[in-house]
Amino acid sequence: MIRAALAAQYRVHATTGNLNNLVGVPLTLLAAPEDAEALVIEAGASVPGEIARLRDILEPTVAVITNVGYAHVAGFGSLAGVLREKVALLEGGGGAPVAVVGTDPPELAVEARRRTRTVVAGTGAAAEVRPDAADLDDAG
């Protein structure tokens, strides 16, 4: 969805498939055409420390963390471990200076704000930015 929104104004290069790891992210960056004006790169992790390594490769200017769920708990031991891993995208010298985060869990916004300038987006009451009207067609 981010790619589609940016493509209305910019030439965008984005992650395809599941190329969101320490092999796929560099491949995605290397495949970016010279005329790309925006990169939308997914950073994924299955073990602690992976996001920090990807962050150092990417040096993001904006980070989007939609949620923190149980999908990766096995690799991180707990939901708190998943949260720690995801917000690593916002830390260090290569961390994103701006974060857009979802509302769930509430700790996500708290931890993001401790690290960088943060906007909370979504449909819930805790969101600072909400869509007034969102329509999706068959293509998303």
- Per DSSP, what are the bridge partners of residue 40? 14
What pLDDT is attached to residue 124? 86
Nearest to 120 by CA among 131, 132, 130, 135: 130
* Residue 7: both structure tokens together: 């493509």
Give the integer Cα–Cα distance in Å for 120 and 65: 10
Nearest to 116 by CA among 135, 138, 88: 88
Domain boundaries, the chain: 1-42, 60-123
Q: For 99, list phi and psi in degrees, rounded to 5.
A: -125, 140
Q: Which stretches of the chain are assigned E, i.e. beta strand?
A: 12-14, 38-40, 62-65, 98-101, 117-120
> 50-58 and 79-87 helices cross at what angle (nearest 10)?
20
Nearest to 59 by CA among 37, 39, 79: 39
Nearest to 2 by CA among 34, 35, 61, 42: 42
Give the integer Cα–Cα distance in Å for 139 and 21: 26
Q: For 76, list phi and psi in degrees, rounded to 5.
A: -125, 0
pLDDT per residue rounded down to tens, the chain (140 residues)? 899 999 999 999 999 999 999 999 999 999 999 999 999 999 999 999 999 999 999 999 999 999 999 988 999 999 999 999 999 999 988 888 999 999 999 999 999 999 999 999 998 899 999 987 677 677 65
